[in-house]
A and B are shown apart, each in its own frame.
Chain A
Amino acid sequence: DAGVIQSPRHEVTEMGQEVTLRCKPISGHDYLFWYRQTMMRGLELLIYFNNNVPIDDSGMPEDRFSAKMPNASFSTLKIQPSEPRDSAVYFCASRTYPWGAREPGELFFGEGSRLTVL
């Protein structure tokens, strides 16, 4: 399997611009997570989906952030308008948790998208 694929790997943009980060989870995984990593706050869970449905978006910092999962193989995280404080590494991760299973499957991470907002 190709693993979790994120794009772009690096993005440099100017304040006020729209940013779209993309994620392709591992095929067959029914949970998808978006995390943000900064020096100050560490790894923060922004939002996660189960079977393409957003379950918990309480970590989304502001209305400027939005996430979608139109199908099982694709998700986007959008920031509009972007601000310098949004500069961070954004990780997508996926896992499976089959119905009736006693334990969740391993969470697999993409390599991250490093966002710099000038």
Chain B
Amino acid sequence: AQSVTQPDIHITVSEGASLELRCNYSYGATPYLFWYVQSPGQGLQLLLKYFSGDTLVQGIKGFEAEFKRSQSSFNLRKPSVHWSDAAEYFCAATGFQKLVFGTGTRLLVSP
């Protein structure tokens, strides 16, 4: 069955520190991969996506993600976290039709 796993429910990072959010997928073939961010009371906003080609993809707000086929992973990174990055982050995957989401990781940013 198609699935996306985000092993960390909560992560706390100090402002200015680096961030890595983990994502693993299970699909029959390499899916299209996405990271979304959700601020409280809001819908989901696309941060970045991977379809093919360069395995390191750049997104909005200074985020990047690296696709590693051997590890079935698509981890999200940011070199220096800002307080405004506090939100919930969702990894998602799709073949050609429906998008399957992970359970999300809530990022807390400490001063």
Binding site for B on A (CB under 8 A): 4, 31, 33, 35, 42-43, 45, 48, 50, 55-56, 91, 93, 97, 102-104, 106-107, 109-112
| A56-B46 contact given A42-B103, A103-B32, CB 8 Å threshold | no
Q: Are B98 and A48 in contact (CB under 8 A)?
A: yes
Q: A48 to chain B: which residues have CB within 8 Å? A: 97-98
Contacts of A93 on B, CB cut-off 8 Å? 44, 99
| Dominant secondary structure at the A interface | strand
- Chain B contact residue count (CB 8 A cutoff): 20
Give CA–CA (A93, B99) in the complex, Å.
10
DSSP majority for the B interface? Answer: strand
Flag if A43 contacts B96 (CB, 8 Å): no
A43 touching B101, Cβ below 8 Å: yes
Give Cα distance in the complex from A109 to B44, angstroms: 6
Contact A42 B101 (CB under 8 A): yes
In the bound complex, do residue A55 and residue B97 qualify as a contact, i.e. CB atoms below 8 Å apart? yes
In the complex, what distance in Å separates the CA atom of A48 from the CA atom of B99?
10
Interface centre among B32, B51, B98, by most A CB within 10 Å? B98
Could you list which residues of chain B lie within 8 angstroms of chain A, going by C-beta atoms? 32, 34, 42-46, 49, 51, 90, 94, 96-104
- Residues in B with CB closer than 8 Å to A55 are 97
Contacts of B98 in A (CB 8 A): 33, 45, 48, 56
Tell me which of B34, B49, B51, B99 contacts A45 (CB under 8 A): B99
Q: Once bound together, how far apart are the Cα atoms of A43 and B98, in whole Å?
A: 13
* Docked CA distance A107–B99 (Å): 9
Decide if A111 touches B101 in the complex (CB within 8 Å): no
Measured CA separation A78–B43 after assembly (Å):
20
Closest A residue, CB atoms, query B49: A106
| A56 pairs with B97, CB closer than 8 A | yes
Instruction: Out of A4, A42, A45, A112, name the residue touching B104 (CB < 8 Å).
Output: A42
Q: Assess whether A43 is in contact with B90, with CB atoms less than 8 Å apart.
A: yes
* Residues of chain A with a CB closer than 8 A to B96's CB: 97, 104
A104 and B104 within 8 A (CB): no
Closest 5 CB pairs of A and B: A109-B43, A42-B103, A43-B101, A109-B44, A111-B43
